[in-house]
Chains A and B, each alone.
Chain A
Amino acid sequence: MKSSSPLKWFATREGLYYVALAVLLVVLLPLALDPFRLNMVGKYLTYAFVAIGLVMCWGKAGILSLGQGVFFGLGGYCMAMFLKLEASTPEATAIQSTPGIPDFMDWNQLTELPWFWEPFHSFSFTLLAVIGVPVLLAFVIGFAMFTRRVGGVYFAIITQAIAAILTILIIGQQGYTGGVNGITDLQTLNGWDIRTDEARTILYFVCVGMLFLCLFVARLVQNRKLGRILVAMNAQENRVRFSGYDVAAFKIFVFCLAAAFAGVGGAMFTLIVGFMSPSFIGIVASIEMVIFCALGGRLSILGAVYGALLVNAAKSGFSESFPELWPFAMGALFIGVVLAFPNGLAGLYQTYVMPLEDKIFKRNKGAQLEAKPAEKTAEPKPTAEKTPDYDPMIDSYSPEKS
C-alpha cells in the first residue's frame, strides 16, 4: 500500500520508526561518538545489510541460508581487488621482483596479474561486480536448488558447505587471493585516501545512506503482493504452487535479493575497515550473521538493523572489558535471547512497547481528527484508517503459529 503523499508517510507509525532510526544513525551517533567509535558503528552497520537480506530470505520466505558470508565476502573481495590494484602502482611496489602487481602475488612468485583481476582496474566494473558477482552465484545456487525443490535443512547445509568450500578455495589459492592474510593495506579510492578520519566519517554516512536504500527496497518488496506471496510460500508452499505461482522463481528472486544486500554490505565493509579476509566468508561468520538477524527479530527488517548493531557493540564492549571471558558473555547473551524472546528484539518490542504506543497513538489520532476535520475529509484515505492494517515491526502472520 502506498501513501498518497510521501511526506504524510513519515507521520505514520511505520514512518516514525524509520525516522527514529535515521535520527539515531545520522544525528545522535555522529554527535555522541568520536570518529574511531563512529567508524566501528559503520562496521557494524555493514553486517546489517546481510541481516536485512536474511529477514527477507529466512524470516519472510522461510529459506534459511547459512552461507550469507559468501555473498558478503564476494562483494567485499570485489571492492578490495579494485582498491588493491590502485594501491599497487609500479612506483609503490618498486621493491618487488615484479613491480605493479599486488604484494602477495609477488610473495607467491606470480609474475603477472591474473586475467580475472584485470577488469578490476575499472571502478564502474567494480561497482557492477559488487552486486553482480554475489547475485550471479546466488542465482546459480538458487536455480540448481529450488528448481529441484531442495529446501529447508538441506538447503541450509548446502549453503554452509559452499561457505566452507569458498573459504578453502581462497586460502588455498593464496597467490591469486591473498590467502589467509586476505587483501590488506588498502589506501585510496580513486585517489581519495580512505584512511583519514574525515574519509571514514564520510564513508559512515554513505553506509547509512546505502542501508536506508536497502531498507526501502526490502520494504517495497515486503509490502507488495510479492512480499505476501513470499510469506504465503513459507506457510503453505504447495498451495501457492497449486495457485499457479512459480515457487522456484520467487525463491530464486528473494535469495538473489539477499545476496545483493550482502554484497553491498561487504563492499562497504572493505571501504570502512580497510581490508578483506577469508574469515568473513567462513561458516562461523555466516552463522554469526544469522544470529544478528535472529536477535533483532527475524521478521522485522528494522529489527535486523538493531540486532546487528547491538550484537556487534556487545562483542566489542565485552571483549574490551573482559578480554579473557568475553566469549562466555556473548554465548550467555545468545542463549538468553533465544530462550527468553524467540522473536528477538522486535518481538519484545511488539509485546511490551507497542501496546503503550497504541494508547498514545489513539489519543493523538483522536485529537488530530477533532482539530483538523476539514483536511481529513479532503484526504481520500485518512491515515487513521491506514494505520491499523499495517503492522511494521512484525507481520501479522507468524510461521510458528501455522
Chain B
Amino acid sequence: MDTTDQAANGRSFGKGLGLKKSLMTLAASVMLATSAQAAVPATAEVNTTGLAVTDDTVTVGILHSITGTMAISEIGSVQAEKLAIDQINASGGVLGRQIEFVQEDGASDWPTFAEKSRKLLRQDNVAAIFGAWTSASRKAVLPVIEQYNGMLYYPTFYEGLEQSPNVVYTGQEATQQILASIDWAAETKGAKSFYLLGSDYIWPRTSNKIARKHIEDKLGLKVSGEEYYPLGHTQFNSVINKIKLRKPDVIFASVVGGSNVAFYKQMKAAGIDFTDEKPLLLTISVTEDEIRGIGGENVDGIYASMKYFQSLDNPNNKEFVAAFKEAYGDDMVIGDVTQAAYLGPWLWKAAVEKAGSFDIDKIREEFAGIEFTKAPEGYVRIHENHHLWSKTRIGQAQPDGQYKVVYETEELMEPDPFPEGYQ
C-alpha cells in the first residue's frame, strides 16, 4: 500500500490533518502487524466457503433500522460501523482487501430484519454482518444467521441468556452493567433500598431480576418496589407518587425509548431534583443519544452505568470522537452502543487476520483472546463466550447532555451471559 492510495482513502471521510496523521500511525501499525505475511494471500486460500471475497475486496453487510421508530437509536451505530470500515480501508483493508458494504434497512420491524439477514447471507454472501439493535431484532435474525453460518456483530447492551457461536456481542451483557453499579451505589453512596423500574420487555425484566438477586441475596439490602410499564407509556405519575411515599435511596431505571422523555420530565415536574440524590437515580438505559431527546436539563444529576461515555478521557477516545465529528458533523453525540458498534469491524478484522482466512469456521476458532487496544472505551478483549471483557463506568449527567465519569471498575469485568445464582 502506498501513500497516495492512503491519501485518497483518507479524503473520503476526513480532511483534518490530525486525523490523517492518526491514520498514518494506524496504518503503520497495521503494516507492521501484517508485514509477516509476505503478500496478499490468494482468494482461494482465504475464502473456501464462497463468501463475497475477491482479490481486492471483501463485502460485509450492515443491517440496522434507518427508518421507523428505532432509526433514531440505530443510525449512530450505522455511522460508527461505516467510520470503522472507512478507517480500516484507509489503513490497507483486511488481508489486503478493501471492505465494501451492502446496507439493508431493518425498518424497525423484526420480520424485515429476518428477511434482510437472509438476503445478505444468501444473495450477497457477506463475510460478516454488523447489525441488529433491539433484542427482538437479534432474536429474529439469530436463527437465520445460525442456519447459514454467518457471523453477526451485535452492538447493544442486552439481557444475556444467549451465547450463539454465530454472534459476537460487542456490547455488555446484563451483569457487566448491573453488578458493579449496584455495588458502587451501596458502597460509595451508602444506598440501602432500591426501587426497580423499567419498560415491559425482556431486557428490563432480566436486568431487574439480576439486580434484585444481587441487592437482596449478595448485598442483603432492600428492594422497595419493582414495576414495569408498556413500551411507549407516558404516564408515570402513579409510580412517582409511590416513589415519594416509599423514599427509596436509589431508583434503578431501565425505561427505554420515547417513555424516557415523559418519565424524566414528570419526575422533574413532581419536584424531584436529581442533583440532590434523594433519591439517587441510576439508569442503565439512558446514553448521550437518549439525552438529546430528553433534554439535558431534565436529567441533570442522574447517574448512568455504561461501559463508554463520550467524555472518556483517553487518547483513543479523543481520536475516535474527532474522527466521528469530522465525518458526521460537530453536533453529533456518541453513546455507549455507537461505540460498541464501532468495535465490530475492528474485531472482525483482527479475527480474520489472526485466522488468515475469511472462513467463518476458522474465524470462530480465533475469537477467544482477540484484543483491540485502540478501542475508544480503552482496551477490550473477546472472551471465549463471544462477549467482551470491559469495564463498568458510572457517569453523572451534566446539563449539556454529556456524562462526567465518576467511577470506573479497576479491572475488566468478565462477561457472564448465564450468571449462576442470578437466574
A-side interface residues toward B, CB under 8 Å?
34, 36, 39-40, 43, 95, 97, 104, 107-109, 168, 171-172, 174, 179-182, 184-187, 195, 273-275, 277, 279-280, 316, 319-320, 323-324, 326-327
CB pair A179 B103 closer than 8 Å: no
| Given A95-B418, A171-B231, A180-B136: A275 in contact with B104 (beta carbons within 8 A) | no
B contact residues, total (Cβ < 8 Å): 37
CB pair B200 A184 closer than 8 Å: no
Closest to A108 in B: B205
Q: Beyond A179-B200, A185-B139, A274-B143, list 11 extra A-B contacts (CB 8 Å).
A: A95-B418, A97-B423, A108-B205, A180-B136, A187-B143, A277-B136, A319-B105, A319-B107, A319-B116, A323-B104, A324-B66
Choose the segment among B117-125, B271-279, B353-361 that binds chain A (4+ C-beta atoms closer than 8 Å).
B117-125
CB pair A107 B67 closer than 8 Å: no
A158 vs B423: C-alpha distance when bound (angstroms): 42
Task: Judge whether B149 is part of the interface by a CB distance below 8 angstroms.
Answer: no
By Cβ-Cβ distance, the 7 closest A-B pairs, closest first, are A323-B105, A36-B122, A181-B136, A184-B139, A185-B143, A181-B139, A195-B147
CB interface residues, B 122-167, toward A, < 8 Å: 122-123, 135-136, 139-140, 142-144, 147, 159, 161
CB pair A185 B142 closer than 8 Å: yes
Residues of A within 8 A of B423 (CB): 97
B119 to chain A, nearest CB (A): 7
Residues of A within 8 A of B119 (CB): 36, 320
Closest to A195 in B: B147
A326 vs B206: C-alpha distance when bound (angstroms): 36
A174 vs B159: C-alpha distance when bound (angstroms): 15
CB pair B103 A277 closer than 8 Å: no
Name A's interface SS.
Answer: helix
Closest to A328 in B: B67
B2 to chain A, nearest CB (A): 34
CB pair A107 B202 closer than 8 Å: yes
Residues of A within 8 A of B293 (CB): none
A36 vs B111: C-alpha distance when bound (angstroms): 15
CB pair B67 A40 closer than 8 Å: no
CB pair A277 B110 closer than 8 Å: yes
Name B's interface SS.
Answer: helix
A65 vs B254: C-alpha distance when bound (angstroms): 38
- From A40, A174, A323, A327, contact of B103 by CB (8 A): A323
Residues of A within 8 A of B209 (CB): 109
Task: Judge whether B379 is part of the interface by a CB distance below 8 angstroms.
Answer: no
Task: Judge whether B407 is part of the interface by a CB distance below 8 angstroms.
Answer: no
A380 vs B103: C-alpha distance when bound (angstroms): 63
Closest to B75 in A: A324
Name which of B67, B111, B114, B201 has the most chain A CB atoms within 10 A of its CB. B111
| Given A180-B231, A181-B135: A274 in contact with B114 (beta carbons within 8 A) | yes
CB pair A181 B67 closer than 8 Å: no
Residues of B within 8 A of A104 (CB): 202
CB pair B105 A324 closer than 8 Å: yes
- From A43, A184, A323, contact of B143 by CB (8 A): A184
Residues of B within 8 A of A39 (CB): 118
A172 vs B231: C-alpha distance when bound (angstroms): 9
A155 to chain B, nearest CB (A): 27
In the complex, per-residue mask of B237-248: 1 if CB is within 8 Å of any chain A CB, else 0: 000000000000
A42 to chain B, nearest CB (A): 12
A38 to chain B, nearest CB (A): 11
Residues of B within 8 A of A275 (CB): 110-111, 114, 140, 143
Residues of A within 8 A of B315 (CB): none
B275 to chain A, nearest CB (A): 34
CB pair B230 A172 closer than 8 Å: yes
| Given A36-B123, A275-B114, A279-B111: A174 in contact with B142 (beta carbons within 8 A) | no
A31 vs B147: C-alpha distance when bound (angstroms): 24
A184 vs B137: C-alpha distance when bound (angstroms): 10
CB pair A195 B123 closer than 8 Å: no
| Given A171-B231, A182-B140, A185-B142: A273 in contact with B202 (beta carbons within 8 A) | no
CB pair A277 B201 closer than 8 Å: no
CB pair B147 A107 closer than 8 Å: no
Closest to A40 in B: B115
Closest to A109 in B: B209
Name which of A184, A185, A319, A323 has the most chain B CB atoms within 10 A of its CB. A323
| Given A36-B119, A181-B202: A324 in contact with B111 (beta carbons within 8 A) | no
Residues of B within 8 A of A326 (CB): 67, 105
Residues of B within 8 A of A279 (CB): 109-111
A22 vs B179: C-alpha distance when bound (angstroms): 60
Residues of A within 8 A of B123 (CB): 36
B143 to chain A, nearest CB (A): 5
A186 vs B147: C-alpha distance when bound (angstroms): 12
Name which of B107, B159, B202 has the most chain A CB atoms within 10 A of its CB. B202
Closest to B109 in A: A279
A180 vs B112: C-alpha distance when bound (angstroms): 14
Closest to B142 in A: A185
Residues of B within 8 A of A316 (CB): 115
Residues of A within 8 A of B231 (CB): 171, 180
A179 vs B119: C-alpha distance when bound (angstroms): 26
Closest to A182 in B: B110
Residues of B within 8 A of A168 (CB): 230
A146 vs B147: C-alpha distance when bound (angstroms): 48
B175 to chain A, nearest CB (A): 15
- From A97, A172, A185, contact of B200 by CB (8 A): A172
A129 vs B117: C-alpha distance when bound (angstroms): 31
B402 to chain A, nearest CB (A): 29
- From B107, B140, B418, contact of A277 by CB (8 A): B140
CB pair B105 A180 closer than 8 Å: no
Residues of B within 8 A of A182 (CB): 110, 136, 139-140
CB pair A277 B111 closer than 8 Å: yes
B416 to chain A, nearest CB (A): 14
B193 to chain A, nearest CB (A): 22
| Given A97-B423, A171-B230, A180-B201: A327 in contact with B109 (beta carbons within 8 A) | no
Q: Write 7 A-B pairs (CB below 8 A) sorted by A numbering.
A: A36-B119, A109-B209, A171-B230, A182-B110, A195-B147, A275-B143, A316-B115
A104 vs B205: C-alpha distance when bound (angstroms): 12
CB pair B67 A195 closer than 8 Å: no
Residues of B within 8 A of A109 (CB): 209
Residues of B within 8 A of A95 (CB): 418
A200 to chain B, nearest CB (A): 10
A171 to chain B, nearest CB (A): 7
CB pair B206 A107 closer than 8 Å: yes
A326 vs B122: C-alpha distance when bound (angstroms): 22
A133 to chain B, nearest CB (A): 21
Residues of A within 8 A of B67 (CB): 324, 326-327
A381 vs B115: C-alpha distance when bound (angstroms): 51
A302 vs B110: C-alpha distance when bound (angstroms): 30
Residues of B within 8 A of A181 (CB): 110, 135-136, 139-140, 201-202
